[in-house]
Structure 1
Amino acid sequence: GGLTPPRSPEAVRESLPVTEAWRVLHNGAEVLADAKSLGTFQVLVLGRDSESFLSEAALDNVRNWVASDSGALVCYRGQPMAQVNERLERLLPVQWKTSREARFRMTLTDRGRDLRWFESHSTGVSSDVLPQLPALATSSAAEHPKPLATVLATIAGGAGEEAPVVTYQPYGGGRVVVVEGSGMWRWAFLPPAYSDHDTTYGTLWQSLMRWLVSGAGLLPGQDMALRTDQVTFGSNEAATATLLVRREAAQGQIPNIELTGDGIDGVRTVTPIAAGEGPGVFRVLFGELAKGRYQAHIAGQPAEKSGSRAVFDVRRLLEEQLDLKARPDLMARIAASTGGLELKGDSPGEIAETFTAHLERGRPERIRRTTAWDRWWVLAGTFFVWTLGWSLRRSAGLV
C-alpha cells in the first residue's frame, strides 16, 4: 500500500469529538462568592454593570483564583463597574476616564500580530480586515496601561497617543484581559458584501480562549508547578525560578526545591520565598552557578508528575570571555575605521598630550568683537584727519 498524506490541522480538529455542556445560572453571584465553585472554571468573562456580582467576598475570591489557580479574567466591553474600587483596580491592566460616547475601530499592534489570533488558512481570515469591520462604541475610554500591561490592539487611525483597546497583564499565575467597546456582536452578522469575514467574531474568541488556557501557569489537575525564568542563564547572573502553588496546596507546608547539576556536588536545597502580594507565587533563588546543565525538582513530588521539575543551562557568554593578547593589527584597523589615532609609544604622557590636542581641535573657536571707537589710536586718527581737512580748507579760504 502507499503512504497516506498527512492531514491538515483543521481536518484533525474537525475529526476530534467536541464535548459541550452549558447551563444558565439564575444567581451568578453564588459562583463568585463560593471559592470552591469558582475553582472549577478556567476563564471568567465579565460584562459591563457587573456590580451585582462583585461583592467584596467575590472580589477576594476572583483575585485569589487568578493568582493561585491560574485563572483568566476577561473584562468584555471595557470597565466592568461604574466605579472601580481598589480591590478590582489591582487586577486590571488599564485605568479608565469618563468621556463622551465615541465610536472606533481597532487595529492590532506588533505584539498582537505575533499572537496570530486571526491567521487561519481554512477561513481566510486576516487581521487586516479589522479596520473595515463595524465600529465599536464606548463611553469610558481606557487612559493609560499599567507598567506590566501589554497592549494587543489600539484604535485604528487614532490621532496622537494610541488608546488601548485590547490589553492584558499577568497577575500571579493567571492573566487579566480587557476588551474595550460594545457592539462586537455585529461582527457575526455582517452584510452580504462582507460575508467572507463572518468567521472573524468566532475566530477571535476561539483564539482568545485557546491562548488563555494554554498560557495558564497551572494546568487542570496540577497543584503546583515549577518554571524557570529563563532557559539559559549566564555564569555571572543569578539563576531563578518561580513556583506556582494552587490555593488549597498553599494552605499547607510549601515544599523546598532540590537542585542537582554539573556544577554542584550532591543535592542543594533551596527554600521558596513568597513573591509580592500575589498568593500562590513563590520565588526560588539558586544564585550564581558554574557552567553546566541543572535540574530543579519539587521535593516530595514524583519525578514523572507534570510541572514537578524544570531543566536549565548555565553558560559562559561569549562577550564575557576576555582576550588578553595584544593585537596591534586589530587596534590599527579599529583606529582606521573609527577615525581614531594609533599610539605607538609606551609613555603615559603621550596619551595625555594626544588627548589634550584632541580637545583643543574639537573646541570651537571663540571670536571676540570690539568696536573701533574703543581703541585710542582710532579716535586720535579720526580727530587728526578732521583737523587736517579743516586746516586745508581754511588756508584755501573755503572756511
Structure 2
Amino acid sequence: APQDVFGELPKLTSRQNVVGVKPATIVYAEVVAEDGGASGLPLLVSMRVGSGQVAAILGQGSWQWSLLPPSSDTVVSFYDTFWSNLVRWLVQGGEFQPGEQASLKLSRQSMRLGDELTVELSLKQPIKETPRMKWLAPDGQETELALQPLPGRMPRYRATVAPQESGVHQIEALTPGLIPAQQAKRFNVYDINLERLETSARPTYLKSLAESTGGKMLDPDQPESLLDQLQRQRKIRTIPPVPEPLWDRWTWLTVLLSWMGVEWLLRRAVGLW
C-alpha cells in the first residue's frame, strides 16, 4: 500500500505551511506529524493549469529517498520510479486521475445563459461499444449528445451544449469496459442582466457619446434647458419662404402666348385690327 511505502522512507526534513487548498487542487498525500505539529496538511498535490497539469511535493528532503541503504531493498528504487512515473503521468496522462481510464472534462464550471459549453471525453484505450454522453437539465429533461471524434493517438470525443435554462446542469459519460464506467460533471448556468446590475450612470461616458453623435448632454436639475434647446432646434429647422418667379417657366409662357393669340384673332374678327 502507498502508506506502507512512505512509512519505510526517510522522513522529510521540513514541510511548508499551507493556509488553504484551492478548489481545483487534488490532494494525494497528507502530512502525518510525529512531533505534535499540525497534521492533515497537503503534501503531494496536483492541479490543472490551462491545458496542462502541475504537481508539487510541499516539503523538503525527498532527495534522501535516493540514498537508501541496501537493507531497504523493498523501496531502494522508489525514488527513480516515483519521479519517472510522476513525470510520465504529467506529460502523457495528466488528464487522467490515478487508476482511471476515462476522463470527462468541461470547458468551464460556471457560465452565463446563452453561452456554449464544450465537453471533452478522453479514453486511454478504444472500447468495443461507442461511448455515450447525456445532458441532464435542471428540469429533469435528458438529452443525448452527439459525440464528434477528434484526431489523436488516444480516442477523444467532443460535444457542445448551449443551455437555455439557468440552474445546475449535469453531463454524464458512459464508457462501458473502462474505469470508471460512468462519471458525471456538473456546471452552473446563471442569468445576469448587466444593465440591472450596473444601474449607476456614467456622466463622462454619456457626455462623450452624446457629443460624438451630434447631441448634447443636459443637466437633469435644469429641465428648462431642454425646452430652450428644443425651441432653438425648432427655429433652426424652420425654413423661411423663398419667392420663385413663374414668368420664366415654359408652361406659363405658352399660356400667355396662347391668350394673346386668341385675343388678336378676336380683334381681327370684329374689325378692330
TM-score calculated relative to the size of structure 1: 0.31
Greater Cα radius of gyration, structure 1 or 2: 2
TM-score calculated relative to the size of structure 2: 0.42
| Richer in helix (by share) | 1
